[in-house]
A and B are shown apart, each in its own frame.
Chain A
Amino acid sequence: MIPTFEYKVPRTLTEACDLLWQYGDRAKVIAGGTDLVISLRNGLIKPELLIDITHLPELRRIEERNDSVSIGGSVTHSEIVSSLIVQTYGRILSEASSQVGSPQIRNLGTLGGNIVNASPAADTVPPLMVLEAKAKILSKEGEKEIPVSSLFRGPYQSALQPHEILVSISFKKLGQDMKGSLIRLARREGMAISRMSIAVILQKKGDLIEDIRISIGAVTPIPNRMKEAESLLKHQRYDTDLLKMASEKVSSEMILQTGIRASTPYKKPVVEALVERAIRRAFGDTQ
């Protein structure tokens, strides 16, 4: 049984920000509820007030701008999957949303929730990291735009303040010469939490890797880009030996962040193999 709370459905962002300002950490924002309702039931959180943000128009839109795409915080994974705009300009995110939970979870769960819940295994986060996505945050103090990468403090700890709302996520449209590749490892394809995921966006120029962005999910406490591997590959001729060296940089970074764990003998070779595979796919190397 869930303990009692007040429930409000603001119709404007101003109203929502006012409520959050007034209640602070005594209030919780609810969108899909797939994580929040479980925490309520387990007594992990006991808010006085729940603020339902699923009726705020600004949070429900997917918009195409000149050179960017913006997705509202309470857009669901199902809506992302069926959006032509996201499929065209940020396919790697469509793919990630299509892999979340089950059809039912995708109908409820939102992009904003996936980020703010701050699970290390959040499916959309590695793609957002390589899309270099930005988050628009609003509170009574004003509006700010910050990189999605700065929204994580630790496992299940978001850097969002209690009085702040994640309004939307935006990213630059990917050019025709930029290819994404996403690999997700879990016990099964459906209804299983990700154990490891690799997101790569690669810009190709002939046989050169003009630019590359790599992020790994579920194996580090907070998401981050694999900068050492990226700089090793950037502006270099595509080469399998180089790929191997880069994948070893990724596994060393993983171990640096987590220490040697019981699962490391498995994870090290697997993360290396999957990073190589993801880069090969993004480069179009079908060998």
Chain B
Amino acid sequence: MKRILKLNVNGEDLEILVEGHKTLLEVLREDLGLTGTKRGCDLGTCGACTVLVDGRPWLSCLTLAVAVEKKKITTIEGLAQNGKLHPLQNAFIEKGAIQCGFCTPGMILTAKAFLEENPHPSEEEVKRAISGNLCRCTGYVKIVEAILSASGRESRGE
């Protein structure tokens, strides 16, 4: 049974006709073509499907799309502004924190929400913050480096 969903994705108000039982992950990828959000385990364990809902890291594979109507959803596609990458995206590129890239969107969004709450974290705090995002290439060292290097960049105006 299809229904009209009102979603706000990356700052845009959308009304879309979708099957009412779809997950947010399915709607983002299949109906909106936002394939930056990845389907990993589909069980809430790997964090590859992480998006931000009202600014908080959210598992889109465990969220029914109807449950987030009228909330602000941010996907990796919504991070760059006016063609300029987000400081975290730049940091991931500079530090070589991307191997296969599958965990990267979720990793960056989790890190974004975390740095907004804690702009100057310790290495240990970064590791805890990304404990729900698995990297199967095990490139954690560079990911942690990238997040640490991005921390405080915004306040420095970089």
A residues touching B (Cβ–Cβ < 8 Å)? Answer: 2-7, 30, 32-34, 37-38, 40-41, 50, 52, 54, 78, 101-105, 107-108, 189-191
B residues touching A (Cβ–Cβ < 8 Å)? Answer: 1, 19-23, 42-45, 47, 50, 53, 56-59, 61-64, 66-67, 110, 114, 128-129, 131-134
- A33–B24 Cα distance when bound, in Å, is 12
Is B44's CB under 8 angstroms from A2's CB? no
Is A104's CB under 8 angstroms from B63's CB? no
Is B62's CB under 8 angstroms from A37's CB? yes
Determine which residue in A4, A108, A190 has the highest number of CB atoms from chain B within 10 A of its CB, and name it. Answer: A108
- A32–B58 Cα distance when bound, in Å, is 10
Is A104's CB under 8 angstroms from B128's CB? no
Number of A-B pairs, beta carbon distance below 8 Å: 82
- A6–B66 Cα distance when bound, in Å, is 10
Is B47's CB under 8 angstroms from A102's CB? yes
Q: List 17 A-B contacts (CB under 8 A).
A: A7-B21, A30-B67, A32-B62, A33-B62, A38-B62, A52-B66, A54-B67, A102-B131, A103-B131, A104-B44, A104-B50, A104-B110, A107-B53, A108-B58, A108-B59, A191-B45, A191-B131
- A37–B42 Cα distance when bound, in Å, is 10
Is B63's CB under 8 angstroms from A37's CB? yes
Interface majority SS (helix, strand, loop, mixed), chain B? mixed
Is A4's CB under 8 angstroms from B110's CB? no
Closest Cβ neighbor of B51 among chain A residues: A104
Is A3's CB under 8 angstroms from B132's CB? no
Distance to closest chain B CB from A243 (angstroms)? 32
Q: Which of B42, B62, B131 contacts A34 (CB 8 A)?
A: B62
Q: Which residues of B contact A105 (CB under 8 A)?
A: 44, 59, 132
Q: Which residues of A contact B43 (CB under 8 A)?
A: 38
Determine which residue in A34, A54, A191 has the highest number of CB atoms from chain B within 10 A of its CB, and name it. Answer: A191
- A103–B63 Cα distance when bound, in Å, is 15
Is A41's CB under 8 angstroms from B66's CB? no
- A3–B20 Cα distance when bound, in Å, is 10
Q: Which of B58, B66, B132 contacts A101 (CB 8 A)?
A: B132
Q: Which residues of B contact A6 (CB under 8 A)?
A: 1, 20
Q: Which residues of A contact B50 (CB under 8 A)?
A: 104
